[in-house]
Amino acid sequence: MKKRMISALLASFMAVSMLAGCGNSAPAADAPAAATEEKAEAASDAAPVADGEVTLTWAVFETDNYTAEMWQTIIDAFEADNPGIKIEKVLMTGDSRPQFLKTMLAAGNMPDINVDPVDLASTDGIYAEVPEELLEKYEDTAIATYNGKHTLVPAYKAYRNQCYYHKDQFAKAGITSEPTTWEEFVEDCEKLKAAGCIPLMGAGASDIWATSFGYWTGVANSDIMKAYPNFNEQILNGELSWTDPVIVDSLTKWQDLINAGYYHPGSMSFSYTQAQEEFKNGATAMFMDGAWATAGYDAPDSGFTTDDIGVFVVPASSGAKSYCTMPQYWGVAESCEHKEEAFKFCEYVLGGNPEIYKLYLKSDATYSVTKEPVEYEMGPVQTEFADNYKSIELVPEIMKVVGDTAMPSGFEDFTCKSLQNIFTGADVTAELETWDAEMKRLLESAE
């Protein structure tokens, strides 16, 4: 009976069309305080719905991939298999999920279970330690340690960034193969521009993460990690500076692309979603985007096939052959009154029920972190994306490292705003000097 119910729930969900969207968007600007406090007040009303029942609040976010229907399918399946435990969804609003959770915490209304809790995990006492028997189910490399404690449940890993392109625009510009060196990439941009095509799509507006995401995760991260494999440790202990020549050179090359007119002139006025739609409609030839975008291109009603859309790894100027993935986690709040039930929910969704875990992963084109891998059938664009990484090295993503060498809370939001400044013409070195000052301030304030 339970299997039939879950199958029916999954079938109902899959009938809902999934459009392309950013499922693991990096945090952006601070959420509007009033709206967040309103949601915090609403969450505070959560209570058992009937005698003997436990209600857990679960903070999630919605995108074109992570839809309300998907979250509800997960909730319905869990509640059907676990009578007496109710899950109440708390929708994270605003542009910054970390800021939303910080506001909830300050208001005394921290949700019991949080998606995307990493920004608060380094502070003792916010999240409960994960039972060892649950952690044993996940890959060793996915386990996060803060001050000797394990307070995060591994959820998935996300492949970060490649360059999607319209094959007809490449053909129009006389480009017969994907670039394999930085020089070839720049030459292709020039060929596209000469053919009347805009080479690159950018994004800005309130989605501050999206402005630099493509270049930072797809190129700069590789440049930096090639030069400094232990970069996070070295930058945190003061051995390195953000004004290091490797970083300055990499970001200057990005600014050179901007100054050459290779980016869409309206980039900074587009939200991430608008930029993605503009690209799909052919406004530009290329768009650096995450693996989650493959879900949209592979959707049955997308109108795209691999005859239309290709994807390649942007070659780093340093010659580095690497890519990064972002680990994602859930956290159970220390303030949760029903921790056993909360961890039971985490275990159920994140591998305990393989069909539900598969649904969660496939929705945003992410990948299993369980010791017994949970796999799903990938579409042709996602398959090409994954295959492109098979022959190159996996390195840490600097801004998403978790545990004791993680960037201080709030630093990534700061750098995203600074990178927007660079996109609009600010001096690269001067901006990076502010990174050193802000990191020092954040580290000192955390002591």
Q: What whole-number distance in Å separates Cα of residue 126 and Cα of residue 103?
A: 13
Residues 6+ positions from 385 with CB-CB distance below 8 Å: 159, 162, 291, 294, 311, 365
Each residue of 376-386: b (16+ CB within 10 Å) or e?
Answer: eebbebbebbe
Output the tens digit of pLDDT for each of the chain's 447 residues. 444 444 444 444 444 333 333 333 333 333 333 334 444 444 434 444 445 699 999 999 998 899 999 999 999 999 999 999 999 999 998 878 888 999 999 999 999 999 989 888 888 899 999 999 999 999 998 999 988 999 999 999 999 999 999 999 999 999 999 999 999 999 999 999 999 999 999 999 889 999 999 999 999 999 999 999 999 999 999 999 999 999 999 999 999 999 999 999 999 999 999 999 999 999 999 999 999 999 899 999 999 999 999 999 999 999 999 999 888 999 999 999 999 999 999 999 999 999 999 999 999 999 999 999 999 999 999 999 999 999 899 999 999 998 889 999 889 999 999 999 999 999 999 999 999 999 999 999 987
Residue found under tokens 């096939």: 305
Do domains 2-159+325-383 and 162-324+390-445 share one topology? The answer is: yes
Q: What whole-number distance in Å separates Cα of residue 269 and Cα of residue 275?
A: 9
What was the pLDDT predicted at 410?
Answer: 87
Closest among 38, 56, 47, 30 to 107, alpha carbons compared: 38
Please tell me whether residue 54 adopts helix, strand or coil conformation.
Answer: strand
2-159+325-383 belongs to which CATH class? alpha beta
Say how far residue 160 (Cα) sits from the centre of its chain. 7
Compute CA distances 88 → 24, 45, 96, 207, 321, whole Å. Answer: 22, 11, 21, 27, 44
Overall pTM > 0.85: no
Per-residue 3-state assignment (H helix, E strand, C coil) for 358-377: HHHHHHCCCECCECCCCCCC
Residue spans per domain, the chain: 2-159+325-383, 162-324+390-445
CB atoms within 10 A of CB 19: 17
Residue range 162-324+390-445 in CATH 3.40.190.10 = yes
